[in-house]
Structure 1
């Protein structure tokens, strides 16, 4: 079962396929970011690392 690497919340396999980066890292999910901005939050968090 995939989990958000930012907050640890469970996410579906489908969510992971869509929003995980090329290494499988999930930087944002509905539990820790607004649904409308998940892709944007993930990009912002990736730049901070």
Structure 2
């Protein structure tokens, strides 16, 4: 089962495929980010976790 690495909420495999990184990690989801900004927030959180 997939989950958001930021808030630990469930995310579907389709969501991971679209918004996850190449290792299947998701850094933002509808539970912790506005729908319009998920891609941007995800990229920012991914960069800060490196």
Q: Tell me whether the two structures share a fold, i.e. TM-score over 0.5.
A: yes
**d(CA) in 2 for partners of 1:47, 1:17:** 19
Gaps of at least 5 residues in structure 2 are: none
Deviation at 1:23? 1.2
CA distance in structure 2 between the partners assigned to 1:10 and 1:46 by the alignment: 18
In 1: Cα distance, 2:47 partner to 2:5 partner: 15
Task: Give, in whole Å, the separation in 1 of the partners of 2:20 and 2:10.
Answer: 13
The runs of at least 4 aligned residues of structure 1 exceeding 3 Å deviation read none
- SS of the residue corresponding to residue 15 of structure 1 reads helix
Corresponding position of 2:39: 39
Q: Which segments of 5 or more consecutive residues in structure 1 lack a partner in the other structure?
A: none
* Superposition pairs of residues 8-47 of structure 1, within 5 angstroms: 8-47=8-47
Paired residue total: 49
TM-score, normalised with respect to structure 1? 0.91
